[in-house]
């Protein structure tokens, strides 16, 4: 007995109806790049997951590197924008402290923890930050240079007398701390054992904010 439900088209040619495979490709590529890295991800496997031909990915994204860029930029640009918006709000409101600044920086990424797809991006994002390949630097600079520098200056203003070098070190430490904490590769379970996966995460964001805020203030004049 044949099924009547929408069956995948099986030959060449433009399919009937509307398609939006571009977004599907980005979604599955995001998961694969997160789990297997750039080199470890095969275009063929991306294609298989959307049940399409590999050539289709090249049709939409030209090549693998460009696909990776698209996956990364789709979310990273929103993160930067949100950080800049949050910083502008703080400045408009007048006085703010270290902890406000830390929250403004971290919360746009912490929001991604709420969905599986967002968590995939966070893993991808953490990996990218530990990679010395030139493409990784390019992408990070392109998206984050301006906003990270703006935050570094804002921190410096709240830490009068602290040398710029130290402030930059601290910004790096903040970034490393949240990347790892949000990457879900730390496998806290290895340490905790007793706790369930959900309980482990309880209060994580507040703990990150407290830890980083205290670290930022350390050694103030």
Q: Looking at residue 62, what DSSP letter applies? A: S
Distance CA 168, CA 155 (A): 9
**Helix residue ranges, H only, the chain:** 21-40, 43-49, 54-61, 64-92, 98-110, 116-129, 134-158, 164-183, 189-192, 197-201, 204-217
Nearest CB to a copy of itself, comparing residues 51 and 190:
190
51 binds a copy of itself (CB under 8 A): no
Burial class (CB in 10 A: 0-12, 13-18, 19+), 16: exposed
Nearest CB to DNA, comparing residues 59 and 166:
59
Burial class (CB in 10 A: 0-12, 13-18, 19+), 78: middle
Q: In which region does residue 53 sit, left (phi positive, over 0), alpha (psi from -120 to 50) or beta (all else)?
A: beta
At 112, is the secondary structure helix, strand, or coil? Answer: helix
Measured from the CB of residue 3, what is the shortest distance to DNA in angstroms?
Answer: 18
Q: Which stretch binds a copy of itself (CB under 8 A): 7-15, 89-97, 104-112, 200-208?
A: 200-208
Nearest CB to DNA, comparing residues 2 and 114:
2
Q: Indicate which of a copy of itself, DNA, none lies near residue 12 (CB less than 5 to 8 Å, by partner kind).
A: DNA
Q: Indicate which of a copy of itself, DNA, none lies near residue 54 (CB less than 5 to 8 Å, by partner kind).
A: DNA
3 binds a copy of itself (CB under 8 A): no
Measured from the CB of residue 174, what is the shortest distance to a copy of itself in angstroms?
Answer: 8
148 binds a copy of itself (CB under 8 A): yes
Q: Are 47 and 53 in contact (CB under 8 A)?
A: yes
The contact mask relative to a copy of itself for 109-128 (x = CB under 8 A, - = no) is --------------x--xx-
Q: Which stretch binds a copy of itself (CB under 8 A): 6-14, 43-51, 107-115, 165-173?
A: 165-173
The contact mask relative to a copy of itself for 7-46 (x = CB under 8 A, - = no) is ---------------------------xxxxxxx------
Tell me the two tokens of residue 103: 């929250």
Q: For residue 72, what are the contacts with CB-CB under 8 A and spacing of at least 6?
A: 124, 125, 128, 139, 143
List residues near a copy of itself by CB under 8 A: 34-40, 123, 126-127, 129-133, 136-137, 140-141, 145, 148-149, 152, 164-166, 168-181, 183-188, 190-192, 195, 199-200, 202-204, 207-208, 210-219
């Amino acid at each position: 007995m044949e099924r009547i439900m929408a069956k995948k088209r099986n030959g060449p040619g433009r399919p009937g109806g509307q398609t939006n495979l571009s977004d599907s490709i980005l979604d599955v590529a995001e998961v694969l790049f997160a789990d297997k890295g750039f080199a470890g991800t095969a275009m063929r496997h991306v294609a298989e997951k959307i049940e399409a031909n590999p050539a289709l990915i090249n049709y939409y994204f030209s090549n693998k590197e460009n696909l990776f860029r698209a996956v990364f930029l789709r979310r990273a640009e929103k993160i930067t924008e949100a950080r800049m918006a949050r910083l502008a709000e703080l400045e408009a409101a007048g006085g703010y402290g270290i902890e406000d600044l830390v929250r403004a920086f971290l919360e746009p990424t912490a929001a991604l923890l709420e969905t599986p797809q967002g968590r995939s991006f966070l893993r991808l994002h953490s990996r990218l930050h530990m990679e010395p390949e030139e493409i990784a630097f390019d992408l990070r600079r392109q998206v984050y240079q301006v906003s990270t520098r703006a935050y570094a200056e804002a921190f410096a203003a709240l830490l009068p007398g602290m040398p710029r070098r130290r402030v930059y070190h601290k910004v790096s430490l903040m970034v490393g701390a949240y990347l790892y904490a949000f990457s879900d590769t730390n496998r806290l379970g290895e340490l905790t054992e007793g706790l369930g996966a959900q309980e482990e995460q309880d209060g994580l964001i507040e703990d990150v904010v407290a830890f980083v805020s205290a670290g930022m203030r350390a050694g103030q004049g």
